[in-house]
Chain A
Amino acid sequence: MIKVQNLSRRFGEFLAVAPTDLHIHKQKTTVIMGGSGSGKTTLLRLLSGLEQASTGHIWFDNDSDLTCMAARHLYALRLRMGMVFQYSALLNSLNVYENVSFPLHEHTNLDESLIRTMVTMKLEQVGMRGFEHLMPSELSGGMAKRVAFARALITDPELVFFDEPTSGLDPIAAAVVTRLIQQLTVKTKMTSVVVTHDVAAGLAIADWVILLWQGRVIAEGTAEHIANSSDARVQQFIQGKPDGPIPFSRSDTPYLETLMQVDSHG
């Protein structure tokens, strides 16, 4: 569904995503994992066209290049997409019902009673039925995430991007959301791209795993392939070991040298 060639993103001197080639397979769940600051969210934003690539191409269905597409074509393409943001990104001037029905009101001429039915069904799926009248400011982080989930799925998109879908959710809600992604991918033949550092949930739902470190793909394959990888960096990440080839500190300057500089500058 999405084919990425030589894609990179640089913010000034900082290389957030190194030149990368990858495939997002149609009707499959691709999970992008990696530690904090490994470039997962930047890669997701690049794939969704929210971020401008520094180099490379993103081919959608082999015929449309997202990196050089006119804005109106990109918006037309986004009618086939959905996205769940890490911090929900609900429109805070609208209540839960208005947020979830927003894409339908914007892009369809459906009868209001039908829209209400569809919203109720989606809210039921995420366990938020009965909260239609609440404003985003009245929701907890987990509740807002679930509403965002319902909003992203209301148009039954072909491709959905999930940015940390389980972060901020209690274990039960996280399990429901994880199961929902799995079910929708199978039942509605949806393509999912999930960014997460929740290893257990990621490996459980993934058809394909991409592991990032410092903006580079260090491993990719099926969940089983990744779990059995002999790469020490992969094993350190999936087992959550504090010591290993992936350092905890991101600074290139030795600790002692930094302390000495602080001392000499008073």
Chain B
Amino acid sequence: MVNLLIEVLGKLGRSTLLTLQRMGDANILGFSAMAMLVQPPWQGRHIVQQVYALGVGSLVIIAITGAFTGMVLALQGYYMLAKFGSESLLGSAIALSIIRELGPVLGAFMMIGRAGSSITAEIGIMRVTEQLDALQMMAVNPKARIIMPRIIATVIALPLLIALFDVVGLAAGYVIGVDLLGVNSGAFIAEMVTKVRMEDLNIGWIKTIVFGLLIGIICTWYGYRAEPTTEGVARATTQAVVLSSVSVLIFDYILTSFFL
């Protein structure tokens, strides 16, 4: 019995140490790569390329997700508010939900699925095919050339994509609430303008920047440290998506509780 307990505690200790070691390694890789932003050779062109690849490539999926989120919120919100005769609050309910919570979280999930997984897979394949080693042998630091532009690009692209998510979501909520469900247009807009403060927008921005950083660091780290086999890259991609999603939810809770 005592032996079993020692064995269980030993396994728990080892896995905790391993997790802490990985977290430390990911942070060291991520932040040391980002430090190269201010060192020559400048990687501006590669950052712009990555913002384009990650951002423009995710535009459609973000717009679709935003639209349907706004539409569902309008239907559900109207159903709930109608019970209390407060349909006029629909505009503010949709706006606050999307700007403070759903926009950043769902947008981050879409970014993880669309761009995060491709970042991990791309870097992992570069590891398998020795392209990262080849860069090093050509005196090009992969942290500066591959890792840093992708992290910075996620930090830049995610807030912009979520701004789009918010706008499309609000517009879709307006169409469903006002045109389909018959909520008064003036009340919808007025409630939205009155109830949504600059502080709410700022919370949304801060969340998107933090989520972008998380996605960038986690997805690049998993790719960079992927076992150099096809199975290793597949596993790294799955783990990157899962861990990024869970991290977004955890940090969403932390940030929400901090700002409330």
Residues of chain A having any CB pair with chain B under 8 Å: 45, 48-50, 71, 75-76, 78-79, 81-83, 85, 87, 89-92, 102-103, 106-107, 151-152, 161
- Interface positions, chain B 126-149, Cβ under 8 Å from A, are 129-131, 133-141
Q: Is the CB of B139 within 8 A of A107?
A: yes
Q: Is the CB of A83 within 8 A of B137?
A: yes
Contacts of A50 in B (CB 8 A): 133, 136-137
Q: Classify the interface of chain A: helix, strand, loop or mixed.
A: mixed
Q: Is the CB of B137 within 8 A of A82?
A: yes
With A81-B137, A89-B129, A91-B131 known, 7 other A-B pairs at CB within 8 A are: A50-B133, A75-B141, A79-B139, A82-B137, A85-B134, A90-B131, A90-B134
List the A residue with the shortest CB-CB distance to B141. Answer: A75
Contacts of B139 in A (CB 8 A): 75-76, 78-79, 103, 106-107
Q: Is the CB of B136 within 8 A of A92?
A: no
Report the Cα distance A49→B138, complex, angstroms: 12
What's the least CB distance linking B129 to chain A, in Å? 6
Report the Cα distance A258→B75, complex, angstroms: 67
List the A residue with the shortest CB-CB distance to B134. Answer: A89
Q: How many interface residues does B have (CB within 8 Å)?
A: 13
Report the Cα distance A106→B140, complex, angstroms: 8
Contacts of B134 in A (CB 8 A): 83, 85, 89-91
What's the least CB distance linking B65 to chain A, in Å? 28
Report the Cα distance A78→B141, complex, angstroms: 11
List the A residue with the shortest CB-CB distance to B130. Answer: A89
Q: Is the CB of B133 within 8 A of A89?
A: yes
Q: Is the CB of B136 within 8 A of A78?
A: yes
A-B residue pairs, 10 tightest by C-beta: A89-B134, A89-B130, A83-B137, A78-B139, A75-B139, A103-B138, A79-B139, A85-B130, A50-B133, A89-B131
Report the Cα distance A204→B140, complex, angstroms: 33
Q: What are 20 A-B residue pairs whose CB atoms fall within 8 Å in the complex?
A: A49-B136, A50-B133, A50-B136, A71-B141, A75-B139, A76-B139, A78-B138, A78-B139, A79-B139, A81-B137, A83-B134, A87-B129, A87-B130, A89-B129, A90-B131, A91-B131, A106-B139, A106-B140, A152-B137, A161-B137
